[in-house]
Structure 1
Amino acid sequence: MDWEPGNDVGNIASLQRGAANFMGYCSGCHSLKYKRYSRVAKDLNIPEEQMEKLLLLPGAKKGDYIITPMSKADGEAWFGKAPPDLSLITRAKGSDHVYQFLKTFYVDSKSANGTNNLALPNTAMPFVLSALQGVQEAKFKTVEKVVDGETVTEQHWDSFELASPGQFSPEEYDGFVRDTVNFLEYVGEPVKAERESLGVWVILFLLVFTGFAYLLKQEYWKDVK
């Protein structure tokens, strides 16, 4: 299965939706300690009134960094470890990993919180988006392989089956996840869209320069030949 989210950090509407998704479902546990509310609003063309209404956590000011209200001690007590800051998660793990992580929670009665994850087995994070995606069961198949001359069997993931639907259709949930991952990719590298846009112009300049250089070479060497 393809786990590439196909992000476009130049898509401002997607980034705005992703910012709202993060603040609504992730900021209760996760911080973006390198990002200020005001910078997000400026970069994503979010009016100040909307920023204060939709993005600011209770008690936060627009110039503050985005810090979760959950303390490290509470996180460790509730989940066994403090939830990580997500400022650089897509740069550290890759946006495909984050996309897969948010798409592959499944029911697991052996897990402490009742769920498991295909991208990060035995994750301490409960599936906070189950109301949106629904509850899915993982189907595994038995695969034989030879190790040191002996045949052993392993359980490999095969597919997911939706056991209980959520508020979103599969397509809607996929869009939700893509927007959220897109926003996190912007957070990790705010100048990516500008860099990619500039790169196009640099390539065009080099192509034009190469053409002129070739013509100039031909002019210089025509008499020598």
Structure 2
Amino acid sequence: MRELKILAVVVVLTLITYWGVEPFAHSQMHPHVDPANYNFEQADKVSAKEKVEEKKEALEKAEAEAKKTGNEKVTHLPKKEYDAAVKFQKRIDSFWESNNATLKLKGNATNGATLVQSNCTACHSIKSQGFPQVMDDASSAAAYGVVPPDLSTSGKLYTKDYLVAFIKEPTLGQKVSHKFVDGRVHPMPSYSWMQPQDIADMVAYLQSIAPDKMTDKQVFQDACQRCHGIKYGDMKGGTMSAHTPAENIKAYMGKVPPDLSQYIRSRGAKYLHEFINDPQKHLEGTAMPRVGLSKASEEKVISYLEKVGDSKKAQREELGPKFLIYLVIFAIFAWLWKASKWRDIH
């Protein structure tokens, strides 16, 4: 009986730690954020509204303090931040509303081919259509800060609304307008001067040349390798270096983007989905852009990172239940053995 009491205490303390202490600690180190949202218009409107509410609350607290202390200076910064949040909310709402006109149009891929080839191939390659890189990676990075992506698979990787948003205004599409201020210019120019039909045609062309299928590794290479490398290799031992040299990407981003070999272990799939979908949720002010991947493409990136950094996951998960069954059987035999040896003593 004493052993059962001890076991009960151990079980209760373990459950309290697992269901109480650990989740609380995790919530403090990793505050809850909204789940990944692939409707970027909706996501941007929600985040802009939340930011206004946050800054309004901070302003109200500052005004209450000013009324109490008589020091009006404490309201200056909160008022400035609140006004900026309201202004940005109006800007982003207007931006997405204007994009809806383009999204409703049926694109003409033939006209789009002419537009893309005349406007985009000066910087971007489209290797599948016979347009090679204009410059090597090092030269491109030196010129733009980051190597421009090949457009062969963009129609497959990214959502339609993201492509429209990015072509029209890259800083808003990527959610990095906070970075390009005080004269700083995004390497990708804005095409807001184009007619909605022209942008719709360009997107239709990019979708028409996109491959039907891509492997997990191909999606990672096209979506992530311009900035991120894989140092420790995949299951076949291959490694990847980021296309953009470290010195260029550091100047462009502010720091060298991390190697992603073990990120699936250190961050977990849920965090990576949220971060890739919208980096600002977990790291406000980061230079990491919203990538704009569709849900299917993002899942392939995560799948590849699991193959690289957690290749034994399936085997480990398969072994888990078997090991627990073994422990239960072992515990039963141990109890029976103990009972037979101590029966006479008790």
TM-score of the pair, normalised by structure 2: 0.34
As a proportion of its length, which structure holds more helix? Answer: 2
Rg larger for: 2
As a proportion of its length, which structure holds more strand? Answer: 1
Larger RCO: 1 or 2 (CA < 8 Å, sep 6+): 1
